[in-house]
Structure 1
C-alpha cells in the first residue's frame, strides 16, 4: 500500500500526534433519518471508493502508536511514512493537535461514507476551529479544510478584496431543478437551497417579449434553458426567483450573489427589450434598485457588494439606456460579447475570462472537458491579488469556469451524467493538485491559488455539497494575506 499524504488546506497548522489502525468492515448504507444525518455529517468524498464506506470492526486497534515530527503548516503538503489503510479492509484513525494548545481532533481514513466529515474535537471544551476532511483512497491523500458556515462564508473575509480574488461556487442554469426534459434539467435542488449551501454565482436565462405593450403578463420574464421552459408543470418567473435571492441576502447581509443574466427562449423581444424590462422598478430599476443591486460597470470589492446582487450582463443594452446609465460607461459587469464554446477566452470588456466548452459529442470527450476545467482552475490560481488594504488597485478579471456540458442527442451526455464524472474529478484536483507549483495541466506557477468562479451542475444531489465546500475552502488562503 502507498504511504499517506496529508495536505493542510486550513488556516492553522496541524500536528499529527497519534495513529490507530483497525480491521475494517463495510459500513451499512444509511436510510431514513440516518441518511438525513449523513448529508450533514457524512464522511470523506472518496472519488474512487469501490464499495462505499468502511467502519472499524470492534473497538480494539491492531496497531497504535505516537507520531513525531509531522506538523503540516497551512496550505502545505506532507508526505509521511505511514502506510495508508487498505480502503476495503482497514480504517486508519488519525489524531491531530493544534500546536501550542491542548485541542485535539480525530478522523478516520477511510470512513463510513463517501462524503466529507467535520473532524471530531476530542479534547473537551469548545473547539477554537472546525475542520473538514476529504480523503482520496486512490492517492492515499487526506486533505483538511477550514470548515465554513456555508450560508455565511463570505462573512469571514475582509471587505477590501475584489470579487475576482475569491473562490466562488456557482451553478449553471441555476433554477433548472424542476420536472423537465433530462437535457434541460441541470440542478438537483432549488435556488434557495443552493444559496444556503454556499453557491454565490447564479446563471439565469430568461425569455423576453417586446417592451412597452403595457400588459403585465408581457412584461414578465420567463425562466428558460435555451428554447425550453425550465418546468413542464408551468411557467417559472424571474420575479419569483429574485424574491428568493432578496430573502436570502436580507437574512445573510455579509454575502453577495453574482447573477449572470442572458436572453434565450422563444420570446420575440431583443436584448434591448430585455434591458428595458430589467431597468424598470419591477426588476432592477435603472439605478439598481438602491441597496439590492450593484450595477456599476466594474468588478466591486466584497465590501461594496455585501447584501447585494452583482449584475453580470450577458445581453446588449438599449441605446438610450447605454447613454444614461453610469455616465455612458455601461451597466453591470459586461459579458455581452461572450465567447461561444470556448476553452479560454476573455469577454469583449476584458472583465471576464471564460472556459465554457460545452459541445461534447461522446462520453469519452468528457475527459477533454475535465482537462479544460482543471486548466482554468490553474490559470485562476496563478493570479496574485493585492492585499485587501491596498487602495485603488485594479482587480484582475473574473475567471469563470463552467463544469457543465451536454449533448441533446446523446443520453450519456446529458447534464446529470456529465456532472457525475466531472464533479468528482474536480474535487480530486482541488484536494491534491490545485495550488501546488507545477502540478496543474500546464505546469504554471502558483499565485494566490483562487479557484475563480466554478460553475457546476447537479450539486446538492442527495445532500452532497462536497464540491461547493472544497471551492469555498480555498478562501482560507486569503485570510493569511496581510
Structure 2
C-alpha cells in the first residue's frame, strides 16, 4: 500500500492543502518528500484534535527526556491479525494523529530491501513507506517531534549490504527530517524532525543516533544504559514471565512493573535521564496462551472479566495530580481498553487541577440555580395576586 492510500485509509483526506501535499509522493518510494509542493500551505492546527498538536505550545527549551511521551511497542504490527503477532490496531497515521510520538520499528533486510517484521513474521510493509508517511505528517505538523527506535529484528536474507548501511541510505534520503546526534535534544531543535534511537550495530556507528544496543532481553528488573556520550536511559521491558502465570497474575505483576518505573521517572529530578516503560507482555506455554491484546485490554478468566494493563494504567493516571514526568510509555493497543489513555499521558505534561479543584464551582451553581427558581416562583405569585387570579399553589 502506498503513502497516499495509507493516508486516506487513516481518514486524513480532509482538505485541499493535505490532498496537494500527498499528491507529491503518490508511489510511497523514493524520491522522498522533503519540502512542501509549490503553492501548498500548512493548514492551521489550532482547531485540530489534541492528539495532533499536543507539543505545539510546550516550551522549546524542555528536554525531550523530561516529557511524558505516549508510544507504541512493535508499532508496525497492525497488518497481521494473528493474536501473537498483532500488537496494534491503529496504523502509523492513526497512531501519530492520536498523540503517539515514540515509534518502535522492527526491521529485517531481504533482497536489500528494509521490511517491517515482528520476530519471524513479515508484516508486508516497507520501512521507506512508513518513513514517507512520517515525513508527510511532520510537514503538516511542524511543531511536533518524533522519536523512532529502529531495531534489527531478523537476520538479513539474500542481501549484499549491511543492515546498518541500508538504514543509513534510507535516512540519508531525507537528512533534514532526522536528528542522528547521540545526545538528548531539547524540543525546540527536534520540532518537525525525528530523533533516532539506534538498536542495531554496524561499522563506524559509534556516534550515530542515541545508542541503545545494550538493551537487555526480557529482564525481570529495570536496567540502565549508559552511553559513551553521557546519556542515561532506564528501561522496563519484562514482556514474558519465567514461569506459567494465569491472566490475573500476569496482569498484576506486569502492572506492578509498569507503575514502579512510572514512579521512578516522576521522582527523579534529573530531567536529562530517559525512562522507557514497555507495558506490553504475553505468554505462550503448555498451560497458558495469553496474547498481547489480552494482557493489554483484558479478557475473561474463570467466567469473570479481568481488566488488562491499559484500563489499570488509565486508573493510575487519573488519580495523579498536577504535572508529572513519566518518560516514554510504549503500549500495545493504546486505543483499546481505556478510551482516554493516550490523552491522560499527554495531559501529564501540563498542570492539572485536582479533582477537588474541578468541583468547587458546583455548590455555587446549585445555590444560584435555587435562588433563581425561588425568585421566579415569588415573582409569578406576586403578578397573579396583582391580577386577582390568586395562587394555584395553595
TM-score range, shorter chain: 0.5 to 0.7
Q: Is 1:456 equivalent to 2:337 in the alignment?
A: no
What displacement does 1:366 show? 2.1
What displacement does 1:413 show? 1.8
Spell out structure 1 runs of 4+ moving beyond 6 A.
none
- Answer whether contact 2:77 2:86 (CA < 8 A) is retained: yes
Q: Tell me what 2:294 maps to.
A: 417
Instruction: Judging by fraction of residues, say which structure has more helix.
Output: 2
Q: Distance in 2 between matches of 1:414 and 1:175?
A: 17
> TM-score when scaled to structure 2?
0.68
Give unpaired runs (5+ residues) of structure 1.
1-129, 131-146, 210-217, 323-328, 386-394, 436-447
Q: Distance in 2 between matches of 1:369 and 1:171?
A: 16
Q: Is 1:180 equivalent to 2:55 in the alignment?
A: no
The one-character-per-residue Cα deviations of 1:151-177 (angstroms, maximum 9, x if unpaired) are 010012010001001110000001111
- Answer whether contact 1:381 1:434 (CA < 8 A) is retained: no
1:346 to 224, 239, 248: 224
- Answer whether contact 2:164 2:200 (CA < 8 A) is retained: yes
- CA pair 279-294 structure 1, distance change in 2 beyond 3 A: same
Q: Tell me what 1:432 maps to.
A: 319
- Answer whether contact 2:146 2:195 (CA < 8 A) is retained: yes
Q: Distance in 1 between matches of 2:282 and 2:226?
A: 25
Q: Distance in 2 between matches of 1:366 and 1:460?
A: 18
2:269 to 357, 365, 384: 384
Q: Distance in 1 between matches of 2:215 and 2:107?
A: 16
Q: Tell me what 1:477 maps to.
A: 351
Q: Aligned ranges for residues 132-147 of structure 1 at < 5 Å?
A: none
- Answer whether contact 1:378 1:434 (CA < 8 A) is retained: no
> TM-score when scaled to structure 1?
0.56
- Answer whether contact 1:163 1:300 (CA < 8 A) is retained: yes
Q: Aligned ranges for residues 242-391 of structure 1 at < 5 Å?
A: 242-268=131-157, 273-280=162-169, 283-285=170-172, 289-318=174-203, 321-322=204-205, 330-342=207-219, 343-349=221-227, 350-360=231-241, 361-362=244-245, 363=247, 364-384=249-269
- Answer whether contact 2:224 2:232 (CA < 8 A) is retained: yes
What displacement does 1:267 show? 2.6
SS at match of 2:198: strand
Q: Distance in 2 between matches of 1:348 and 1:408?
A: 33
- Answer whether contact 2:52 2:98 (CA < 8 A) is retained: yes
Q: Distance in 1 between matches of 2:158 and 2:151?
A: 12
- CA pair 273-434 structure 1, distance change in 2 beyond 3 A: farther
SS at match of 2:77: coil
Q: Tell me what 1:224 maps to.
A: 117
- Answer whether contact 1:259 1:311 (CA < 8 A) is retained: yes
- Answer whether contact 2:78 2:90 (CA < 8 A) is retained: yes
- Answer whether contact 1:148 1:472 (CA < 8 A) is retained: no
Q: Tell me what 1:60 maps to.
A: none
- Answer whether contact 2:310 2:336 (CA < 8 A) is retained: no
Q: Tell me what 1:80 maps to.
A: none
What displacement does 1:181 show? 1.8
Q: Distance in 1 between matches of 2:95 and 2:142?
A: 16
1:466 to 340, 348, 353: 340
SS at match of 1:337: coil
- Answer whether contact 1:298 1:351 (CA < 8 A) is retained: no
The one-character-per-residue Cα deviations of 1:367-389 (angstroms, maximum 9, x if unpaired) are 1100010000001111225xxxx
Q: Distance in 2 between matches of 1:351 and 1:148?
A: 33
Which protein shows a greater Rg? 2
Give unpaired runs (5+ residues) of structure 2.
1-46, 298-307, 353-394
Q: Distance in 1 between matches of 2:234 and 2:94?
A: 28
What displacement does 1:365 show? 2.2
SS at match of 1:155: coil
- CA pair 369-245 structure 1, distance change in 2 beyond 3 A: same
SS at match of 1:199: coil
What displacement does 1:465 show? 4.2
What displacement does 1:150 show? 1.1
What displacement does 1:278 show? 1.2
